[in-house]
Structure 1
Amino acid sequence: MNRKSAVTIALLAISLLLGGSLSACNTVKGAGQDMKSAGKAIEKKAETEKTY
């Protein structure tokens, strides 16, 4: 393997790692928003069902 192909492989690997980490950030953010929404729905239901 020559130097040029090694650099190309390294750049490709770095690009894939960066792309994967960026998409993971969006996934975690979306999951957090879903959990927040579910929590608000539970709070709302608890408020309507409380008897005191």
Structure 2
Amino acid sequence: MRKIFVLVAAAAALTTAACNTVAGAGRDTQAAGSAVTGAAEAAKN
């Protein structure tokens, strides 16, 4: 029973870490897109 609890806790921790990583990557990609958009607007003017 204890092994099952440990495995479930480890799976939950890995799932939470994966969600945070994907969310962080999404924010980084959004920031990079904003920088490219800003540079394109500046080059246009």
TM-score range, shorter chain: over 0.9
Identical-pair percentage: 33
- Once the two structures are superposed, residues 9-41 of structure 1 have per-residue CA deviations (whole angstroms, 9 ceiling, x without a partner) of 000000000000001111000000000000000
Report the TM-score, using the length of structure 2 for normalisation.
Answer: 0.94
Matched, 1:13 2:10: no
One of 33, 37, 42 as aligned partner of 1:48: 42
Greater Rg by CA: 1
One of 18, 22, 34 as aligned partner of 1:28: 22
The alignment yields a C-alpha RMSD, in angstroms, of 0.9
**Aligned positions, number:** 45
The 4+ residue runs of structure 1 with deviation greater than 4 A are none
Q: Which amino acid aligns with 2:34?
A: K
Report the TM-score, using the length of structure 1 for normalisation.
Answer: 0.82
Q: Which amino acid aligns with 1:19?
A: A
